[in-house]
Every structure is written in C-alpha cells, then in structure tokens.
Amino acid sequence: MSQPPLQHTTVGTRVVLGLALGKLLLHLFTAGRYGIFRDEMYGLACAQHLDWGYISHPPVGIVITWIASHFFGQSLMGLRLLPALAGAALVVLTGKVVRELGGRDFAQVLAALAVCIAPIYLIFDHWLMMNAFEPLIWLGCFYLLLRLINTNDGRYWLGFGALAGLGLETKYSIAFLIVGVLIGLVLTPQRIRLADGRLWIGLLICGAIALPNFLWQLQRGFPFLEHLHHVAASNRDVIRKPVDFLLDQMLIMEPLTALLWIGGVVWLLFGHQRDRYGVFGWTFVVVLGAFIVLKGKNYYVSPIYPIVLAAGSVAFEEMTERLGQKWVRTAYVALLAVSGMVLLPLSVPILSPDTLVRYEKLIRLGPPVVFEHHNSGPLPQYFADEFGWEEMVKEVARVYHSLPSADQKHAAIFSNNWSDAAAVDFYGPKWGLPHAISNRDSYWDWGPRDYTGEIVIVLQSDGSGDREHFATVEKAGHVEHPYSRRDEWYDIYLCRGLKFDLREAWPKMQVFD
C-alpha cells in the first residue's frame, strides 16, 4: 500500500513560505493595535498559579502563557509572538500535507492561501490562546498519519499518540479527532492498521501524557464537566441550528473556500484515492457531526479544516489539469485574494475602531464569528473584548485609593466575572491595587486570600444581592467604554460589613462561568 508522494518543486515551497511570512508579519504589526483580550488576561492570571489543570481548561496553554510572560512581560507583541508563529507554521504544514496527498505547486499555494485568509484563523492567531495552537496540533496528527499511510511505517503511530496526548493537555476537543480517526480506520481499507500494535502503544502514550490532568480533574470531581453543564444551562453561548451551523462554517472559513473544503471531503470519501485517504474524510464527518449534535460553538470544528482544504486543493489541481482549463486556477486564486482582502478588516485590527464601524456599514457584512449572547456595541464581540479594561481598573483604583489607608489594608476587590478580576490583576500593579478575588472558575480555586469581607469593592453587580449580605452598600463609581461590550458597563459598589466570614462561606460560593 506504500506510495510515496509526488516530489515538489521549489516554486511552490517558496510561495508557501512567503505566504506564511506575510501572515506572521501581519499579526506582529497589528499585535498592539487595540488592547489585550479578556481570555489573555485570564491566562496570565492562571500562569501565576501553575498547576496540572484548571476548571475550564488543561494546563499546556497556561505553561505557554507563563513562558511568554516571563520573556516579554506585558508587551502585546511579545505575548502574541507565539500564536502568530503557530499561525505561520500552520500555513507551512498545510503545504507539506498537500505534497503528501500528491499535490504539486499550485495545490500547495492554493491550500496555503485558503488557510491564510480564513477569518477564524486570522482572529485566533491574534491572541495568546490555545485556539491558535489547536489547528497546528490537529494538522500535525494528520500529517503523521499521512506519512504512516504513504510509507507503511507503523512507528508514526507513536508520534501520533504523543502529539495527540499533548493536544489533550492543550484542549480537550482533540478527543473528537482521535475518535474520528478510529472510526475512519474501521470504515475504510485502512482498517488493517488496527492490527498494528504500535497504534495501541501510541494511544497508551497519549493516555500517559494526558494522565496528570485527568487525575487533577478526577480528584476534584471533574469540574470541567460541571463547567460545561452550567454554561449550557445558562444559555450564554450562541447555539445554532444544524443548517445555520453548516452555513456558519462557510463564513468562518471564508465563503469562497467552501468550494475547496467541501470538494476536499468529497475527494477523500469518493475520489480515486479514497481507499488510501478516506480515513480523513470520515474523521471530518465525525467531528462536524459530533459538534452539531452536541450543540457546540460553530468554530469548534475549525481545527480540522486544513486537512480538507489541502485535499480540496489537490482535487482542484487534478480537475483543472484533466479538463485543460488552467486559466480557472488564476481566476479562482484572484477571487480568493480579493475576497480575503475585503474581509480582512473584520478579522484583523488593521483599522481604527471608528473606521471599522464605517467599513462594516459600507460592505454590509457582520462579523464572521459570534461567540456569546452579549451586546458587543459597535464592534464585533472579539474586538470589543480588547477595549475598556485599563479604564475600568483606573476607576477601581480611584475608589480603592479614596479609602483611608487603614481601610485599604482590609479592602477586597471582588468581581462577579473572572475577566474583570483578571483585568485588575493585569493592570492593578500599575495603579497600586491588590490582587482581585472572584468566585468564578479557577479564581474560586485560589480562594478569598486573607479577606474577611469587612470592606469589599464589588464589580459586575447591580447591587441588589449585595444589600442582602452587607451592612451598607453605596455606589462608588461607574465603568463604561464606547467600544467595550455592553455587559462591561456597570456601577462599582463599595460594600461594608459582610454579615458572615468570607473565608468560611467561600467553599459554597463557587460559580461556573
């Protein structure tokens, strides 16, 4: 069954490298255009509490954040260098996957271009979050499986298992890839691989790497599952109907690339190489179907697209070669490039906020991705999440420093939202503030520190519940930024005389968010 891939020429490789470099520079030049993202601040807060796990995510991303913060401090360009490099590496690896699938220069360039302009990758590669690394890990697993199939060398199962294990310690969603691959093997002639003991050794390696986090979750009663349950019950996330979910895939991956990834799935499942590469098509079907059934966010499928974009590019190259219509290649690439440029300002902060608002109205297109049920104001939610944080912390500092020095020693800054607590921890040292506390997610794990509740500055509250628990509650400040999310517009309350000891009540105060 061994069939070596076609040899590539230097032209395609150079163009792919050029596209990767261009993408890298784009992210670096725009890294500090707006501000820091809420999840980045939360990751930095977690990095001050290194552990084998966190309530809503595994540990590898936090280790990467710890490394970045120790090298680059609070520099946005420094913090965002690693995700930008991951995005560039994804482009390069996509080109290598095309070669393994039998593609030549044009297919390599086409697939790399499709990955470069995909809005979801442009958005995620802008932030120090694991969403930037997840597609690279997934495609790395697929590349190793491709090499295994093309060389008939079962040792690649060991690398596959190790990388999948790293993936589980990065984001749990790679479990769907593993299940999809196993189902794909069963449904195709590649099922003969199931008899290779190295496959099962690879899965054992995967499990061994993921074991520390599994034990961390087990010891705490699997808080991640509890987190998922509460998030689903809260109706926080945007849940799409199956048809809308499928239409969303076209938008987040750039509408014109749908020809490639749909064609890639068809080529993998029904093309002349289906016996060899059909496992990848079935994996895509399993992953897509699973997230539709489980009502996942529409971008959860995004890590799997490079493999089907690569396959679709090979299919497109073969078809135009067979029909003798090579002019179609130039036309399609031109359309992709123009379309990508039109959508670029919606995915990368290259415009000022005011100009972006006018641009959206001009082209009459909304943001390619909507994450949660929040009114983001004039900007797309993912851009709105980069505004207002330092202004909020400055207002908290004003309230805090208005207290007598004796009261400041006992004053806790409590947030009903982990993002505002993380912002206080990120900007607080500049404004002379202590660390914040919160009962949300991993902040609850870190406890109330030494605060008893004698004096509490409360964020993200309407004050009604606070009046039940404190002797006095007074409005002390207000937070509002024209470009921030509207749920980040709120009053700050200064509360005194908690009717119970905060440290004793803390174990019962946990809220999953």
SS (H, E, C) 161-174: HHHHHHHHCCCCCH
CA 365 to chain centre: 23
Which has the minimum average pLDDT: 92-96, 227-231, 408-412? 227-231
Compute CA distances 216 → 169, 205, 219, 446, whole Å. Answer: 12, 18, 5, 15
Summarize the confidence of residues 488-512 as an average pLDDT. 92
pLDDT of residue 8: 46
Residue 374 in this model has a pLDDT that exceeds 80: no
The pLDDT of residue 6 is above 90: no
Q: Which among 371, 215, 356, 205 has a CA at the least distance from the CA of 302?
A: 371
Q: At what angle do helices 134-151 and 156-168 cross, to 10 degrees?
A: 170
* Per-residue model confidence as pLDDT tens digits over 198-222: 999 999 999 999 999 999 999 999 9
Span 297-319, pLDDT tens digits: 889 999 999 999 999 999 999 99
Answer left, alpha or beta for residue 485, where phi above 0 means left and psi between -120 and 50 means alpha: beta
Question: How far apart, in whole angstroms, are the C-alpha atoms of residue 197 and residue 159?
Answer: 14
φ, ψ (nearest 5 deg) of residue 49: -135, 60
- Band (pLDDT 50/70/90 cuts) for residue 511 is confident
DSSP state at residue 8: P
Whole-number pLDDT of residue 295: 87
CA-wise closest residue to 399 among 454, 452, 458? 458
State residue 232's pLDDT score: 73
- Which residue, chain included where needed, has tokens 């797309």? 380
What number of residues does the chain have? Answer: 513
Once rounded to an integer, what is the mean pLDDT over residues 60-72? 95
- Strands of the sheet containing 411-415, edge to edge, are 437-438, 411-415, 455-459, 490-498, 470-479
The number of beta carbons lying within 10 Å of the beta carbon of residue 305 is 27
* Radius of gyration of the chain from its Cα atoms, rounded to whole angstroms: 25
Two structure tokens written together for 243? 């048809």
Cα separation, 393 vs 36, in Å, equals 13
Q: How many CB atoms lie within 10 A of CB 372?
A: 16
HSE toward the beta carbon, residue 334, CA cutoff 13 A: 5
Which of 357, 355, 252 minimizes the C-alpha distance to 309? 252
In angstroms, the CA 82 to CA 67 distance is 10
Query: Mean pLDDT across the stretch 168-178?
Result: 97
- How far is Cα 506 from Cα 513, in angstroms, rounded to an integer? 16
**Percent of the chain topping pLDDT 70:** 96
Amino acid (1-letter code) at residue 303: P
The burial of 456, by beta-carbon neighbours within 10 Å (0-12 exposed, 13-18 middle, 19 or more buried), is given as buried
Following CA atoms 268, 273, 279, 280 in sequence, which dihedral angle do they give, to the nearest 10 degrees? -40
- C-alpha–C-alpha distance, residues 199 and 191, integer Å: 11
pLDDT (0 to 100) of residue 371 = 66
Q: Is the pLDDT of residue 4 over 50?
A: no
Asked if the model's pLDDT at residue 344 lies above 60, the reply is yes
d(CA 351, CA 356): 6
What integer is the mean pLDDT of 423-451? Answer: 94
